[in-house]
């Protein structure tokens, strides 16, 4: 990942300060592009900015001449911080800081899995700026700590372990390292729940969801679309799609959605 040559931004104060790795490419006028717009990538839980979707998005931005920004959350990738000590509040604070620092032009926010939840939280926090042209949410894991983990996937035994020990290890299909789920993550996630009320982000939203997704059921994405009654929502259910949605045809759908929100399609 070192070939990314990231810049580093300090977020937080005192003992809570962490160095966040950021890769920002300014827009350069291209034959068909517009340097006055950009894209902002938000990765999933335990993922980093070097994933295939992030790379495809930034390569497309470069080819079209618009700006792109991506970063690693604390405890992920090249950023500092202990993953077990981090939580949604930290990652949202980092997303807001990087967005405010780098995204000075109309921007489409693209979030994958947990990044979809953070994209919604960011859009709500910056709704009045008029900088957000749209959201592209890929298998959005909105409220996942509560709705997908605590309520539905965790057994009573697992919940008891988390409450007693403060942590529980979960094997991962996407990494050699196990996921460690902490009580801090679960409790902090409850401060940011969105699906218990109608939402208004004030920009068009595209949801791309695989019907064969074992991690974020397609019904969960439908619930999100129903929670956005005042926004222009496009919901695309991909019958053979999984959670990654990183096949060439999936990447093409993501890029088409971005171009649509930027008025380039």
Residue 104 lies in a domain: yes
Write down the pLDDT at residue 3. 65
Residue 189 lies in a domain: no
Residue 223 lies in a domain: yes
Torsion-angle region of 125 (φ positive above 0: left; ψ -120 to 50: alpha; else: beta): alpha
Write down the pLDDT at residue 30. 46
Give the tokens for residue 60: 């497309």
Write down the pLDDT at residue 35. 61
Q: What is the CATH number of the domain that holds 114?
A: 3.40.50.1820
Successive 10-residue mean pLDDT values, the chain, 265 residues? 80 96 84 71 96 97 95 97 96 98 96 98 95 98 98 96 94 78 98 97 98 97 98 98 98 98 87
Residue 180 lies in a domain: no
Residues recognised as catalytic:
113, 213, 243
Instruction: For residue 43, give its domain range.
Output: 2-27+34-142+203-261
Distance in angstroms (rounded) separating the CA atoms of residues 215 and 148: 8
Q: For 166, phi and psi rounded to 5 degrees?
A: 85, 0
Residue 213 lies in a domain: yes
Write down the pLDDT at residue 29. 56
Give the chain's domain count.
1
Residue 192 lies in a domain: no
Residue 92 lies in a domain: yes
Q: What contacts 100, CB < 8 A, 6 or more positions away?
A: 126
Write down the pLDDT at residue 33. 46
Residue 38 lies in a domain: yes
């Amino acid at each position: 990942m070192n070939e990314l040559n990231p810049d580093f931004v300090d977020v937080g104060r005192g003992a809570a300060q962490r160095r966040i790795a950021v890769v920002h490419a300014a827009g350069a006028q291209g034959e068909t592009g517009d340097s006055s717009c950009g894209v902002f990538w938000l990765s999933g839980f335990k993922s980093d900015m070097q994933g295939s979707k992030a790379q495809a998005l930034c390569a497309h931005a470069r080819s079209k001449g618009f700006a792109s920004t991506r970063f690693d959350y604390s405890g992920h990738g090249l950023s500092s911080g202990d993953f077990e000590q981090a939580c949604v509040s930290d990652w949202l604070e980092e997303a807001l800081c990087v967005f405010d620092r780098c995204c000075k032009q109309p921007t489409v926010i693209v979030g994958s899995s947990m990044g979809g939840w953070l994209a919604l939280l960011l859009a709500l926090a910056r709704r009045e700026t008029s900088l957000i042209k749209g959201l592209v949410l890929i298998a959005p894991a909105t409220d996942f700590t509560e709705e997908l983990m605590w309520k539905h996937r965790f057994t009573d035994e697992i919940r008891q372990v988390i409450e007693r020990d403060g942590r529980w290890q979960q094997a991962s299909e996407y990494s050699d390292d196990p996921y460690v789920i902490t009580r801090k993550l679960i409790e902090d996630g409850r401060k940011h729940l969105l699906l218990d009320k109608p939402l208004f982000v004030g920009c068009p939203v595209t949801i791309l969801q695989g019907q064969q997704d074992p991690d974020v059921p397609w019904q969960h994405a439908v619930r999100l679309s129903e929670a956005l009654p005042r926004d222009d929502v496009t919901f695309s259910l991909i019958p053979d799609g999984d959670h990654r949605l990183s096949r060439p045809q999936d990447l093409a759908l993501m890029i088409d959605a971005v171009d649509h929100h930027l008025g380039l399609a």
